[in-house]
Structure 1
Amino acid sequence: MYDQSKLAELIRFSGADAGATVIDVYPGAGDWTRLFSDVVGPEGRVYSFVPGEVAHFKNDPVGLMRTLAKEPGRENVEVISADLVALPPAARPADVLWMHLFYHDLHTALMQAKGATAADFNRTVYERLKPGGYYVIVDHATAAGEGTTNAQSLHRIDPATVRKEVEAAGFLLDAESTVLANKRDPHSNKVFDPSIKGETDRFAYRFLKP
């Protein structure tokens, strides 16, 4: 995770606040689910969404989130799992859908194994958000002009490609944050390479559903 100042900036950037409904897509170890649970409070709701395409992983991502949801004070967390583009609708339209270091995976064989595409997913997100809701994407940047070429091999994606794909679903770019930018990143290494792990050049986009 990031230091406290960056965490605070990213939470602010997300637009989530007390009483909000947040969907955390592919929550991993649950760090963001916990943060959003604290932010939205007892009147809010956090849906920790584990795509069915990764539910079979050995670390049991669904089980991890169900354990998290049983922690004291996590009554506002609900775990859901389904195929990526079958993202179940929340009981009320979401205020925020959050994707942290995962959008590039929409362009990998694993996430497309059941026929899902980035275009399909972005349209589903549009349906799940309320008007005025935010679709927030944080991801590892690849070199400008590389598009999705390195999504599978390096786990990176061109920010311009993300913007083009998301806007095609009807969203408007509302804000961009450079809090995670790193100009020293050569963009040529896999994000897990020890030389750059945890320090990749990352972009953050906040899209608005009109």
Structure 2
Amino acid sequence: MLMSVEKTTHFGYKTVATEEKQAMVADVFHSVAAKYDLMNDLMSFGVHRLWKRVTIDMSGVRPGNRVLDLAGGTGDLTRQFSKIVGPTGKVILADINSSMLNVGRDRLTDQGYVGNIEYVQANAEALPFEDNSFDVITIAFGLRNVTDKDAALRSMTRCLKPGGRLLVLEFSKPTNPLMSKAYDLYSFTALPFMGKLVANDSESYKYLAESIRMHPDQETLKGMMEEAGLTRCTYHNMTSGVVALHRGIKP
């Protein structure tokens, strides 16, 4: 008699059943959604805005383009893309987490961004869009929370038009040993403390710090993008590799 082997994956440093991870990640983001932007500013000292600016500049988005901002959360990238694509373009803000999506929708609507933005709750591993739908897809600080990253990258590639671009902005492996040590100390002491102080949730920020360490490094992620069918894959380190912006093109 064959014994069935339960598939497992990582949730931070913990090993959990693969089928359980999605719900566990969802709980984290339901918890942090309301204070997400404030915590981003505190945790990165505001530098996350610069990282996102570089992402927008390197995306090559033009008026009239169709853009998917995946794991778009509270809408930082969507806001800027909406301005660029204009009335003839379309930006879809997609997130698997309803709390994050609601915060993003309410914020952008309150700021007057209506008309060329749609909101879709979607799982990156099985995107509900037709093949060859988008000129640009971005996923900023979301890929590390996806259970099956290879499936997500294949799904994103499928949805890109030929010549379309995928940009993955994510925490990565620092290139400087001193920065790496300082970053570890900061991540595992300051982040949970700030999470407790500001969001009354230290455990979620402990998970976020651990999930960064479990994410593939620069070269590994580049290889995964190539395996998913993208070409001319490159990455650009920022803040000594604390963050990397990967870019690939659908042939």
Q: TM-score, normalised by structure 2?
A: 0.60
Q: Quick check: which has more Rg, 1 or 2?
A: 2
Q: Any idea what the Cα deviations from partners look like across 1:45-77, whole Å, max 9, x if unmatched?
A: 1100011xx33xxxx212223324534243111
Aligned to 1:202: 243
Residue identity in the other structure for 1:64: V
Residue ranges of structure 2 left out of the alignment (5+ in a row): 1-45, 176-206
Corresponding residue for residue 96 of structure 1:
136
Q: Which residue of 2 aligns with 1:124?
A: 155
The structural deviation recorded for 1:176 is 3.1
1:168 matched to 2:227? The reply is yes
Q: Secondary structure at the match of 1:43?
A: coil
Deviation of 1:7 after TM superposition, in Å, equals: 5.1
Contact 2:55 2:167 in 1 (8 A): no
Preserved contact between residue 68 and residue 74 of structure 1 (Cα < 8 Å): no
**Number of residue-to-residue matches in the alignment:** 172
Checking the alignment, whether the CA contact within 8 Å between 1:174 and 1:207 is kept in structure 2 is yes
Q: Distance in 1 between matches of 2:121 and 2:49?
A: 30
Q: Which runs of 5+ in 1 are unaligned?
A: 107-111, 145-149, 184-200
Give 1:94's aligned amino acid: F
Contact 2:52–2:77 (8 Å) recurs in 1: no
Distance 1:65 1:83 in 2: 17
| Counterpart residue identity of residue 102, structure 1 | G
CA RMSD of aligned residues (A): 2.7
How far apart, CA to CA, are the structure 1 residues paired with 2:151 and 2:50?
34
For the 8 Å contact 2:235–2:247, the answer to whether it is kept is yes
Q: 1:142 to 1:154 in 2, by over 3 A?
A: farther
CA separation of 1:140 and 1:76: change in aligned 2, threshold 3 A: same
Counterpart CA distance in 1 for 2:149 and 2:219 is 14
Distance 2:52 2:103 in 1: 22
Pairs within 5 Å for 1:72-111: 72-89=112-129, 93-106=133-146
Query: Match for residue 109 of structure 1?
Result: none
Q: Which amino acid aligns with 1:136?
A: L
Structure 1 position 33 matched with structure 2 position 78: yes
Q: Specify whether residues 5 and 138 from structure 1 end up closer, same or farther in structure 2 by C-alpha distance, changes over 3 A only.
A: closer
Mapped contact 2:167–2:246 kept (Cα < 8 A) = yes
Give the structure with the higher percent helix: 2
> In structure 2, what is the Cα distance between the partners aligned to 1:62 and 1:3?
19
Percent of counterpart pairs with the same letter? 24
Separation in 2, partners of 1:25, 1:160: 22
1:139 to 158, 170, 191: 170
The TM-score, its normalising length taken from structure 1, stands at 0.71
CA contact (8 A) 2:131 2:159 kept: no
